[in-house]
Structure formats: structure tokens, C-alpha cells
Amino acid sequence: QSVAILGAPFSKGQKRRGVEHGPKAIRDAGLVERLSNLDYAVHDFGDLTFKHLEKDEHFMHVPFPRTVGRANQLLSGAVSGAVGAGHTCIMLGGDHSLAIGSVEGHAQHCPDLCLIWVDAHADINTPLTSPSGNLHGQSVAFLLKDLQNKMPEVPGFSWMKPFLSARDLVYIGLRDVDPGEHIILKTLGIQYFSMRDIDRMGIQRVMEVTLDHLLARKQRPIHLSFDIDAFDPSLAPATGTPVNGGLTYREGIYVTEEIHNTGLLSVMDVVEVNPTLGATPEAVEATTSLAVDVIASALGQTREGAHVAFPKIP
């Protein structure tokens, strides 16, 4: 079993500085050692180097379209290469606009993939519905075939075409959805579990329905796109767009444990960790070590313990 770690120090999908330091902060919290302890061969591919494009005027009110488009094109190639080489791939962001390239690259090798988006936000604005213009709030709109005729041609993105069906996507953790996004979710009939749904159903039932929705017809590779702001800000304060009332530690870990148990996790993004935004060093440390915990859990670390190294009582 081998894991590829891909760092994507990129922040131009939103307006706050510092999220480009996410990959280093998550590595410094001990990621490689934790995964090695799980008996993986860990291949750390290091960080991608993103070009800063000089001439990159706004498209409508969307900043840095070509810079974000180019970064995602590069990332797509890297993810596609890692998946093609047989690794389970962990993409460390960076902001959530990077999911465009990550999911696209994954789909190059696994065209039948399904997508689980764990986030406070739906990130499904189009440039026409987006209140902020920020591309990290629009990633899903670039992926969905069902929105093709609602998406203008954004400069920087001509290298890709939407490929995902609305029925191949499930959201978990939503609690800050823009009006335009809500219309899209309802019109396309996208399966989502808001924090209210989690309150009502419990996380166990939410995961049961999620995996049933995506996998009942056939087993296929899972792309897990995990925005750290899905967690409650008391647990993950070092992030750019925190929203109160998020996932508890146990709910978040249950999500990743259940995904691991399918045996189908193929690529995981961990995004929006911004180590410059914690109020204290402890706040930053809490956020980065939480990121390591969800990754380890998605890759098979269990709360009940395991006996990989010693199959018999020594």
C-alpha cells in the first residue's frame, strides 16, 4: 500500500494570505511519520511550484482567473500521475479552488469516480451567482456537467471540460450556503447533509445514506475533498472562512473512518488550513494536528486500535 503526498501551496482562489503555507504546516504536524506508522510506503512528492501570472485581469468580479486556472492544470497532471502510478493520493492545500485540478486529474484515471465534499460551504457558485467572486467558492461548478450551460468561459480554464454528474456528489457539513448555491443544489437534486441534517439523523445514518447513494449501484473510486472549515471553529480556528456550529471531532473522524472502511478512497484533498490565521500558536497547532488526524483516519487509523505489526500476542 503506497500513499503519495502532494503539496499545493496556493492561495489565489481567495483573498486572504497565508493558506499557501498549509502544506508545510501539515507536514510539520507529523503527517509522514503518522502514515508510516500505519504501514504505508509514503512517497512525499514535495510541493508544486505555481507560476504567478503577470497579466491576469479580473473576469467579471472574479480575481486571478488565469493564475487559478494554470495552477489547477498543473495540479491535475500531478494528481493524475500519482493515481496512475498506483498511489492513494493526499493533496495538501492551499485553498479549495485546488479541488478543480485535483478532481479533474483523478478523473483522468478514474472516470467513474464519485465525490464526497466535506465543508461548511457548498463551493458551487458560478461567476454569476458568487457574492465574493472568489474561485474557492466555485470549484464544484467547474466540475459539473449539469451546470455547463450556466458557466461562462472563464479565462484560464480552457484546458478542462466538466465531467461530473450531480448524482455522483454528496455534501456533508453544510451551514453557509449562498442563495444562488441553494437554487443550484435544489434544481440539480444534489444529495447534501447540512449540519441540521446531521443534528436530526446522526452522523452514522448520514454516512450510511451517503455511501449508499454513491456506491449502491457499483463500487467505484472515492474522491474525498475535505475543507478543514467543516469542523467547528473551536477545533479548526486557523482557516479563512470559519462558520460556527460545525462538525465535532468525533463526527469528522467517523466520516473518514467510514470512507476508509469502503476500501475505495483514491484521492483526498485537505484544504483551507491557514497557519497565519490562528489567534495563538496553540490555535494553529490544534488545526494542523486535526488535519493530520483526519488524514490518518481516512487512511485506516482506528480508534479501537489495530494489530498490524504483531499478528500474535508477543
For the chain, what is the radius of gyration of the CA atoms? Answer: 18
Residue of 21, 96, 106, 260 marked catalytic? 96
Q: Is residue 123 annotated as a catalytic residue, yes or no?
A: yes
Which residue in 142, 157, 148 sits closest to 103, CA to CA? 142
For Mn ion, how many residues bind (rule: CB under 5 A)? Answer: 7
List 96, 175, 223, 260, residue binding ligand ARG (CB under 6 A): 96
- Residue 56: contacted member of ligand ARG, Mn ion, none (CB under 5 to 8 Å, by partner type): none
Beta-bridge mates of residue 150: none
Is 106 near ligand ARG (CB under 6 A)? Answer: no
Q: Is residue 232 annotated as a catalytic residue, yes or no?
A: no
- Residue 137: contacted member of Mn ion, ligand ARG, none (CB under 5 to 8 Å, by partner type): ligand ARG
Is 287 near ligand ARG (CB under 6 A)? Answer: no
Is 56 near Mn ion (CB under 5 A)? Answer: no
Q: How far is the CB of 189 from ligand ARG (least distance, A)?
A: 20
Residue of 56, 146, 232, 272 marked catalytic? 272
Which residue in 124, 116, 71 sits closest to 98, CA to CA? 71
Q: Is residue 39 annotated as a catalytic residue, yes or no?
A: no
- Residue 132: contacted member of Mn ion, ligand ARG, none (CB under 5 to 8 Å, by partner type): ligand ARG
Where along the sequence are the contacts to Mn ion (CB under 5 A)? 96, 119-121, 123, 227, 229
Residues known to be catalytic: 96, 119, 121, 123, 136, 227, 229, 272
Where along the sequence are the contacts to ligand ARG (CB under 6 A)? 96, 121, 123, 125, 130-132, 134, 136-137, 178, 227, 229, 241, 272
